[in-house]
Amino acid sequence: MSFLSVQQVSRSCMNGEETTAVLKDLDLEVGKGEMVMIMGPSGSGKTTLMNSLGGIEMPDQGGISLDGLVVTSLGPNDLNQYRREKVGMVFQFYNLIPTLTARENVMLALEGRKLSRKDSRERAQRQLDLVGLKGKSDRFPQEMSAGEQQRVALARALVKEPALVLADEPTGNLDEASEAMVLDLLLKARKELGTTFIVVSHNPRLKGHMDRCYELRHGRLSAI
Protein backbone atom coordinates (compact mmCIF):
# COMPACT_ATOMS: atom_id res chain seq x y z
CA MET A 1 0.00 0.00 0.00
CA SER A 2 1.23 3.52 -0.86
CA PHE A 3 2.40 5.98 1.77
CA LEU A 4 -0.24 8.47 0.66
CA SER A 5 -3.34 7.04 -0.86
CA VAL A 6 -6.22 9.00 -2.35
CA GLN A 7 -9.06 6.79 -3.53
CA GLN A 8 -12.16 7.78 -5.43
CA VAL A 9 -12.26 11.19 -3.82
CA SER A 10 -15.09 13.47 -4.90
CA ARG A 11 -15.88 16.95 -3.72
CA SER A 12 -18.57 19.34 -4.86
CA CYS A 13 -19.21 22.91 -3.96
CA MET A 14 -22.26 25.12 -4.20
CA ASN A 15 -22.15 28.15 -6.47
CA GLY A 16 -25.40 29.86 -5.64
CA GLU A 17 -28.00 27.20 -6.38
CA GLU A 18 -25.74 25.31 -8.73
CA THR A 19 -23.58 22.41 -7.56
CA THR A 20 -20.20 22.15 -9.20
CA ALA A 21 -18.11 19.00 -8.98
CA VAL A 22 -14.58 20.07 -8.12
CA LEU A 23 -13.00 16.63 -7.66
CA LYS A 24 -14.48 13.60 -9.39
CA ASP A 25 -13.49 10.12 -8.25
CA LEU A 26 -9.90 11.26 -8.00
CA ASP A 27 -7.19 8.66 -7.33
CA LEU A 28 -3.60 9.28 -6.39
CA GLU A 29 -0.93 7.04 -4.90
CA VAL A 30 2.31 8.52 -3.63
CA GLY A 31 5.22 6.67 -2.10
CA LYS A 32 7.24 7.78 0.90
CA GLY A 33 9.78 10.44 -0.01
CA GLU A 34 8.25 11.10 -3.40
CA MET A 35 7.85 14.59 -4.80
CA VAL A 36 4.70 15.08 -6.79
CA MET A 37 3.80 18.21 -8.66
CA ILE A 38 0.26 19.20 -9.49
CA MET A 39 -0.56 21.78 -12.10
CA GLY A 40 -3.86 23.02 -13.35
CA PRO A 41 -5.79 26.08 -14.37
CA SER A 42 -7.46 28.34 -11.87
CA GLY A 43 -10.57 26.74 -10.39
CA SER A 44 -9.50 23.24 -11.34
CA GLY A 45 -9.62 22.06 -7.71
CA LYS A 46 -5.94 22.20 -6.71
CA THR A 47 -6.66 24.02 -3.48
CA THR A 48 -9.54 21.65 -2.66
CA LEU A 49 -7.24 18.69 -3.18
CA MET A 50 -4.51 20.22 -1.00
CA ASN A 51 -7.02 21.13 1.73
CA SER A 52 -8.38 17.58 1.63
CA LEU A 53 -4.90 16.08 1.92
CA GLY A 54 -4.14 18.45 4.80
CA GLY A 55 -7.32 17.48 6.65
CA ILE A 56 -8.67 21.03 6.43
CA GLU A 57 -11.73 20.04 4.44
CA MET A 58 -13.26 16.64 3.96
CA PRO A 59 -14.22 15.12 0.62
CA ASP A 60 -17.85 14.20 0.02
CA GLN A 61 -16.84 10.71 -1.00
CA GLY A 62 -13.73 8.55 -1.13
CA GLY A 63 -10.87 7.99 1.25
CA ILE A 64 -7.49 9.48 2.01
CA SER A 65 -4.89 7.72 4.09
CA LEU A 66 -1.37 8.62 5.09
CA ASP A 67 1.00 5.97 6.32
CA GLY A 68 -1.93 3.74 7.18
CA LEU A 69 -3.89 6.46 9.01
CA VAL A 70 -7.30 6.93 7.41
CA VAL A 71 -7.53 10.72 7.40
CA THR A 72 -11.10 10.82 6.11
CA SER A 73 -12.38 8.95 9.14
CA LEU A 74 -10.86 11.31 11.71
CA GLY A 75 -12.89 13.63 13.91
CA PRO A 76 -12.11 17.36 14.34
CA ASN A 77 -9.69 16.91 17.25
CA ASP A 78 -7.83 14.06 15.59
CA LEU A 79 -7.64 16.06 12.38
CA ASN A 80 -6.05 18.88 14.30
CA GLN A 81 -3.54 16.45 15.72
CA TYR A 82 -2.96 15.03 12.21
CA ARG A 83 -2.16 18.51 10.90
CA ARG A 84 0.04 19.20 13.87
CA GLU A 85 2.10 16.02 13.70
CA LYS A 86 1.98 14.66 10.18
CA VAL A 87 1.53 17.57 7.80
CA GLY A 88 3.48 20.72 7.03
CA MET A 89 1.78 23.36 4.93
CA VAL A 90 3.34 26.12 2.88
CA PHE A 91 0.88 28.70 1.60
CA GLN A 92 1.39 30.88 -1.45
CA PHE A 93 0.80 33.99 0.69
CA TYR A 94 2.80 32.55 3.62
CA ASN A 95 0.05 33.18 6.19
CA LEU A 96 2.58 34.16 8.84
CA ILE A 97 1.27 35.62 12.07
CA PRO A 98 2.21 39.32 11.94
CA THR A 99 2.49 39.69 15.70
CA LEU A 100 5.04 36.89 16.05
CA THR A 101 8.68 37.09 15.07
CA ALA A 102 10.14 34.75 12.47
CA ARG A 103 11.39 32.38 15.18
CA GLU A 104 8.11 32.52 17.07
CA ASN A 105 6.21 31.77 13.86
CA VAL A 106 8.31 28.66 13.46
CA MET A 107 7.91 27.78 17.15
CA LEU A 108 4.15 28.00 16.68
CA ALA A 109 4.29 24.83 14.62
CA LEU A 110 5.79 23.03 17.63
CA GLU A 111 3.03 24.05 20.03
CA GLY A 112 1.36 21.00 21.45
CA ARG A 113 4.50 18.92 21.19
CA LYS A 114 5.99 17.89 24.47
CA LEU A 115 9.04 20.06 24.02
CA SER A 116 10.61 22.41 26.52
CA ARG A 117 10.55 26.04 25.59
CA LYS A 118 14.32 25.95 25.19
CA ASP A 119 14.23 22.93 22.87
CA SER A 120 11.45 24.47 20.86
CA ARG A 121 13.39 27.68 20.50
CA GLU A 122 16.58 25.88 19.49
CA ARG A 123 14.81 23.75 16.92
CA ALA A 124 13.12 26.79 15.42
CA GLN A 125 16.41 28.65 15.30
CA ARG A 126 18.16 25.70 13.63
CA GLN A 127 15.46 25.53 11.01
CA LEU A 128 15.70 29.23 10.34
CA ASP A 129 19.46 28.89 10.00
CA LEU A 130 18.86 26.16 7.46
CA VAL A 131 16.64 28.37 5.33
CA GLY A 132 19.25 31.12 5.42
CA LEU A 133 17.61 33.44 7.91
CA LYS A 134 20.32 33.38 10.55
CA GLY A 135 20.31 36.76 12.26
CA LYS A 136 16.80 37.57 11.13
CA SER A 137 14.92 35.38 13.51
CA ASP A 138 13.79 38.26 15.72
CA ARG A 139 12.24 40.15 12.85
CA PHE A 140 8.51 40.45 12.40
CA PRO A 141 7.06 39.36 9.03
CA GLN A 142 6.41 42.91 7.87
CA GLU A 143 10.10 43.65 8.37
CA MET A 144 11.06 40.92 5.90
CA SER A 145 11.00 40.63 2.13
CA ALA A 146 8.56 38.33 0.32
CA GLY A 147 11.32 35.77 -0.23
CA GLU A 148 12.32 35.82 3.43
CA GLN A 149 8.70 35.41 4.49
CA GLN A 150 8.35 32.42 2.18
CA ARG A 151 11.42 30.88 3.75
CA VAL A 152 9.97 31.41 7.23
CA ALA A 153 6.81 29.67 6.04
CA LEU A 154 8.92 26.81 4.74
CA ALA A 155 10.86 26.60 8.00
CA ARG A 156 7.56 26.51 9.86
CA ALA A 157 6.39 23.62 7.69
CA LEU A 158 9.62 21.64 8.03
CA VAL A 159 10.51 22.24 11.68
CA LYS A 160 8.22 19.53 12.95
CA GLU A 161 9.70 17.05 10.46
CA PRO A 162 6.34 16.11 9.00
CA ALA A 163 5.71 13.04 6.95
CA LEU A 164 3.93 15.07 4.30
CA VAL A 165 4.53 18.62 3.11
CA LEU A 166 1.85 20.33 1.09
CA ALA A 167 3.27 23.37 -0.68
CA ASP A 168 1.11 25.79 -2.61
CA GLU A 169 3.24 27.77 -5.08
CA PRO A 170 6.24 27.69 -2.74
CA THR A 171 8.36 29.67 -5.19
CA GLY A 172 5.59 31.91 -6.48
CA ASN A 173 6.96 35.17 -5.13
CA LEU A 174 10.66 34.42 -5.11
CA ASP A 175 13.58 35.59 -7.19
CA GLU A 176 15.75 32.99 -8.82
CA ALA A 177 18.32 32.79 -6.02
CA SER A 178 15.68 32.37 -3.35
CA GLU A 179 13.87 29.87 -5.50
CA ALA A 180 17.02 27.79 -5.79
CA MET A 181 17.48 27.88 -2.04
CA VAL A 182 13.91 26.76 -1.39
CA LEU A 183 14.27 23.93 -3.86
CA ASP A 184 17.50 22.82 -2.18
CA LEU A 185 15.72 22.74 1.14
CA LEU A 186 12.89 20.61 -0.20
CA LEU A 187 15.31 18.18 -1.74
CA LYS A 188 17.42 18.05 1.41
CA ALA A 189 14.35 17.31 3.56
CA ARG A 190 13.36 14.54 1.20
CA LYS A 191 16.82 13.06 1.28
CA GLU A 192 17.46 13.31 5.00
CA LEU A 193 13.98 12.80 6.43
CA GLY A 194 12.20 10.97 3.68
CA THR A 195 9.56 13.68 3.56
CA THR A 196 6.86 13.33 0.95
CA PHE A 197 6.00 16.48 -1.00
CA ILE A 198 2.89 17.46 -2.89
CA VAL A 199 3.63 20.73 -4.64
CA VAL A 200 1.14 22.87 -6.50
CA SER A 201 3.03 25.05 -8.89
CA HIS A 202 3.22 26.35 -12.41
CA ASN A 203 6.95 26.89 -12.21
CA PRO A 204 8.56 24.90 -15.06
CA ARG A 205 11.93 24.99 -13.26
CA LEU A 206 10.52 22.94 -10.42
CA LYS A 207 9.10 20.35 -12.74
CA GLY A 208 12.50 18.85 -13.49
CA HIS A 209 13.09 18.05 -9.83
CA MET A 210 9.78 16.26 -9.30
CA ASP A 211 9.27 12.50 -9.40
CA ARG A 212 5.92 12.86 -11.08
CA CYS A 213 3.77 15.64 -12.46
CA TYR A 214 0.03 15.72 -12.87
CA GLU A 215 -2.42 18.08 -14.36
CA LEU A 216 -5.70 18.50 -12.57
CA ARG A 217 -8.47 19.16 -15.03
CA HIS A 218 -12.21 18.59 -14.75
CA GLY A 219 -11.72 17.14 -11.30
CA ARG A 220 -9.35 14.38 -12.32
CA LEU A 221 -5.59 14.00 -12.41
CA SER A 222 -3.75 13.10 -15.55
CA ALA A 223 -0.02 12.47 -15.67
CA ILE A 224 2.07 14.84 -17.77
- List residues binding another protein (CB under 8 A): 47, 51, 54, 56-57, 80-85, 87, 89, 91-93, 95-100, 104, 107-109, 111-112, 117, 140, 142, 156
Task: Compute the least distance from the CB of residue 55 to another protein, in Å.
Answer: 8
Question: Who's near 143: CB < 8 A, 6+ residues apart?
Answer: none
Task: Compute the least distance from the CB of residue 147 to another protein, in Å.
Answer: 18
Among residues 40, 26, 43, 32, the alpha carbon closest in space to that of 2 is found at: 32
Task: Compute the least distance from the CB of residue 92 to another protein, in Å.
Answer: 6
Q: Which is nearer to another protein, 74 or 210 (CB)?
A: 74
**CA pair distance 170, 86, nearest whole angstrom:** 19
Cα atoms found within 13 Å of the Cα of residue 186, Cβ hemisphere only: 32
Q: Which is nearer to another protein, 4 or 87 (CB)?
A: 87
Cα atoms found within 13 Å of the Cα of residue 70, Cβ hemisphere only: 8
Return the sign of the alpha-carbon dihedral for residues 41, 224, 198, 29.
Answer: positive
Q: Which is nearer to another protein, 62 or 141 (CB)?
A: 141
Task: Compute the least distance from the CB of residue 116 to another protein, in Å.
Answer: 12
Q: Which is nearer to another protein, 19 or 191 (CB)?
A: 19
Q: What are the distances in angstroms from CA 162 to CA 67, 94, 154, 166?
A: 12, 18, 12, 10
Q: Which is nearer to another protein, 168 or 179 (CB)?
A: 168
Task: Compute the least distance from the CB of residue 177 to another protein, in Å.
Answer: 25
